[in-house]
């Protein structure tokens, strides 16, 4: 009798254990399926608003690079491009935006005299209004003067924290950005409320060569509730620009940069002649800009423009850490400096220790005229 009870109890316990384990496995499978569906739902909820800068009738390449970055946020990402301004050139720019990238889902156009100039106050209010209407999960802008001017103010209005200078996207909420003047990379995970706001380094997301075969739809933003008080907070005075036949510094294939070693604005003309022969853009260090050799718009570095050309030539540039942060991603770096211990040689692919006032004239003599 004792043996029979023992066997019965053992079988009952075995059966109960098997049922419990089976139940746990089924529950785990259901949980996994639920988690998979949840992840799929999250990926489907990704929608991105790209703040686009236009010049005349065309979208700037840096804004197209922001669209390219938005594509990396996940599959089924609906990407809207926001343009603001006034007049016929804005509508022509919208037409260009509608076919500038295969991933563009729609173009939103805010046409108003209040938005004629890209003032941060007006743009930030526009972003807040469009975000509240569209409920986007992400808002992106190129990490230039345009994006850096607007994004922080818009983020404050939306009560979120922006992530700046993103150079890689690992997922919808995980990003890589440089720290310590580009000497280290930090992986950042965004855990805040929507929208996740990012400024993108355009050099890390080259614009694709292909465009949309059919243009994306263009919609006009309803500005009936866009307040008049915005114009009282800031006032546009004037826009100055330097006309040049040379390529834009931020997008040039070749960049020729001068530092304090050039000693004067007059000597920079020698560098400009070299740039003309090479079909290059001219850049400068902060020291050269502060000395008054060239205007601020030519500054390359952490507080200037970030460039990544195929060829970067540095003359009389010592290689301060702030300057290196703006050009270290260049494909080929050539440095000329009379100081053999200059930090620029640590990142240069080719270095020449010598007097730039002898080397540049020799280069000018040997290089053929640009046709």
302 is in an annotated binding site: yes
56 is in an annotated binding site: no
Secondary structure (DSSP) of 178-193: EETTTTEEEEEE--SS
- Which residues fall within 8 angstroms of residue 364, CB to CB, at 6 or more apart? 270, 273, 274, 277
CA–CA separation, 66 and 132 (whole Å): 21
Residue environment code for 100-120, b if the CB has 16+ CB neighbours within 10 A, otherwise e: bbebbebbbbbbeebbebbbb
328 is in an annotated binding site: no
CA–CA separation, 113 and 85 (whole Å): 7
CA–CA separation, 191 and 13 (whole Å): 46
30 is in an annotated binding site: no
In the numeric block, the tokens 């000018």 are attached to 364
107 is in an annotated binding site: no
The encoded tokens of residue 32 equal 């996994």
317 is in an annotated binding site: yes
219 is in an annotated binding site: no
300 is in an annotated binding site: yes
Q: Is 139 helix (H, G, I), strand (E, B) or coil?
A: strand
Pairing, β 58-59 against β 54-55 = antiparallel
What order do you get walking across the sheet with 168-171 strand by strand? Answer: 168-171, 174-179, 184-189
Nearest to 201 by CA among 329, 58, 49: 329
320 is in an annotated binding site: yes
77 is in an annotated binding site: no
336 is in an annotated binding site: no
285 is in an annotated binding site: yes
138 is in an annotated binding site: no
29 is in an annotated binding site: no
Q: What is the CA radius of gyration of the chain?
A: 28
54 is in an annotated binding site: no
Per the annotation, where are the binding residues for FAD?
260, 285-286, 299-303, 316-323, 337
Per the annotation, where are the binding residues?
260, 285-286, 299-303, 316-323, 337
């Amino acid at each position: 009798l004792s043996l029979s009870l023992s066997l019965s109890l053992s079988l009952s316990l075995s059966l109960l254990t098997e049922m419990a384990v089976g139940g746990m496995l089924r529950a785990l499978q259901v949980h996994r399926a639920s988690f998979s569906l949840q992840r799929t739902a999250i990926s489907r909820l990704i929608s991105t608003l790209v703040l686009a800068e236009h010049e005349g009738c065309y979208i700037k390449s840096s804004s197209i690079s922001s669209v390219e970055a938005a594509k990396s946020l996940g599959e089924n990402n609906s990407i809207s491009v926001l343009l603001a301004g006034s007049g016929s050139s804005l509508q022509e720019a919208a037409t260009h935006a509608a076919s500038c990238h295969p991933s563009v889902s729609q173009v939103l156009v805010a046409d108003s005299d209040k938005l004629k100039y890209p003032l941060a106050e007006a743009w930030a209010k526009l972003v807040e209004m469009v975000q509240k209407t569209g409920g986007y999960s992400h808002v992106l802008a190129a990490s230039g003067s345009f994006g850096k001017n607007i994004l922080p103010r818009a983020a404050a209005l939306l009560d979120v924290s922006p992530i700046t200078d993103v150079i890689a996207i690992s997922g919808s909420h995980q990003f890589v950005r440089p720290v310590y003047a580009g000497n280290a990379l930090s992986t950042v995970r965004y855990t805040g409320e929507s929208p996740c706001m990012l400024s993108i380094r355009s050099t890390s997301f080259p614009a694709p060569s292909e465009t949309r075969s059919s243009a994306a739809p263009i919609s006009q933003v309803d500005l009936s509730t866009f307040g008049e008080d915005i114009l009282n907070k800031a006032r546009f005075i004037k826009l100055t620009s330097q006309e040049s036949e040379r390529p834009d510094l931020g997008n040039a294939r070749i960049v020729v940069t001068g530092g304090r070693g050039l000693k004067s604005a007059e000597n920079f003309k020698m560098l400009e002649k070299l740039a003309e022969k090479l079909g290059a853009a001219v850049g400068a260090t902060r020291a050269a800009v502060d000395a008054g050799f060239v205007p601020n718009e030519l500054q390359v570095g952490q507080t200037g423009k970030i460039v990544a050309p195929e060829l970067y030539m540095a003359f009389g540039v010592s290689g301060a850490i702030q300057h290196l942060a703006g050009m270290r991603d260049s494909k080929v770096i050539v440095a000329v400096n009379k100081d053999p211990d200059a930090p620029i040689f640590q990142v240069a692919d080719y270095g020449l220790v010598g007097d730039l006032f002898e080397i540049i004239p020799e280069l000018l003599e040997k290089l053929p005229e640009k046709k």
